[in-house]
């Protein structure tokens, strides 16, 4: 089974992350980018849902085992290439010319939580799974662009609280603060609601893509102008 694959449900594309905890590494980035390109090539698709095939995890973020191995052997170029590839994934979601809905069916931690924030809308099941930014405890600072696009998904006060505390929250709390569209009781309800919401969209790609391009211009500029200084310096960990 591919690390990332997509299937059609009528006019809706469903992207499945298939690697259990769905840790982010070069294979994950490559699979996501290929899925997005494949969906764009099918002109009949009007909306996309992003979810996981694992019943426990949506995505637990960066593949720390892969990252640790590369840091041990000082393969700095591989780390930089990966970080830029993930920025390509985030940019692709931000500017995708149709709505992208995250169906968060399990734990979404760190880069996995941030991935859902790059989507346009979010649904989450409430019977299992937490949403968390643990970077403050892991010593991993956000890139400037990560802050920018996460702020589009969160009200500022809530993002600040979660970013500084690293606290885990559930679907009901996220719905209360309008981070997600709806807290769903279980997996079946989650996919039913996400797909039903996706089906309400039948917009022309040209106008939808242009609206997202203009709305997120400042985020893309931050990614292109501010992130490289941190990526190229491999400013990944703060241990003090």
Size of the chain, expressed as the number of residues it contains: 240
Q: What is the pLDDT of residues 50-85, one digit of tens each?
A: 999 999 999 999 999 999 899 899 999 999 999 999
Percent of the chain exceeding pLDDT 70 equals: 98
Residue 209 confidence (pLDDT): 96
Q: What is the pLDDT of residues 170-190, one digit of tens each?
A: 999 999 999 999 999 999 999
Residue 157 confidence (pLDDT): 96
* Residue 27 burial by Cβ neighbours in a 10 Å radius (0-12, 13-18, 19+): middle
Domain ranges of the chain: 4-199
pLDDT of residue 239 exceeding 60, the answer is no
Residue 79 confidence (pLDDT): 93
The tokens for 83 are: 């970080």
pLDDT of residue 39 exceeding 70, the answer is yes
pTM, rounded to two decimals: 0.95
Query: What dotted CATH number matches 4-199?
Result: 3.90.226.10
3 state SS for the chain: CCCEEEEEECCEEEEEECCCCCCECHHHHHHHHHHHHHHHHCCCCCEEEEEECCCCEEECCECHHHHHHHHHCCCHHHHHHHHHHHHHHHHHHHCCCCCEEEEECCEEECHHHHHHHHCCEEEEECCCCCEECCHHHHCCCCCHHHHHHHHHHCCHHHHHHHHHHCCCECHHHHHHCCCCCEEECCHHHHHHHHHHHHHCCCCCHHHHHHHHHHHCHHHHHHHHHCHHHHHHCCCCCCCC
Q: What is the pLDDT of residues 86-135, one digit of tens each?
A: 999 999 999 999 999 999 999 999 999 999 999 999 999 999 899 999 99
């Amino acid at each position: 089974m591919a690390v990332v694959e997509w299937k059609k449900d009528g006019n809706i594309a469903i992207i499945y992350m298939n690697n259990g905890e769905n840790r982010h590494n070069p294979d994950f980035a490559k699979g996501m980018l290929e899925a997005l390109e494949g969906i764009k090539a099918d002109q009949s698709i009007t909306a996309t849902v992003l979810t996981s095939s694992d019943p426990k995890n949506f995505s637990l973020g960066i593949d720390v085992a892969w990252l640790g191995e590369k840091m041990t052997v000082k393969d700095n170029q591989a780390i930089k290439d990966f970080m830029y590839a993930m920025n390509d994934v985030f940019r692709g979601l931000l500017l995708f010319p149709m709505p992208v809905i995250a169906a968060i069916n399990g734990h979404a931690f760190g880069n996995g939580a941030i991935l859902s924030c790059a989507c346009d809308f979010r649904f989450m099941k409430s019977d299992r799974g937490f949403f968390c930014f643990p970077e403050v405890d892991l010593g991993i600072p956000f890139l400037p662009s990560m802050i920018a696009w996460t702020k589009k998904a969160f009200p500022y006060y809530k993002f600040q609280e979660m970013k500084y505390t690293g606290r885990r929250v559930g679907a009901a709390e996220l719905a209360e603060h309008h981070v997600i569209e709806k807290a769903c009781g279980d997996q079946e309800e989650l996919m039913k609601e996400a797909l039903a919401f996706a089906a309400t969209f039948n917009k022309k790609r040209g106008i939808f893509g242009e609206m997202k391009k203009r709305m997120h211009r400042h985020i893309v500029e931050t990614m292109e102008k501010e992130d490289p200084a941190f990526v190229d310096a491999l400013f990944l960990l703060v241990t003090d």
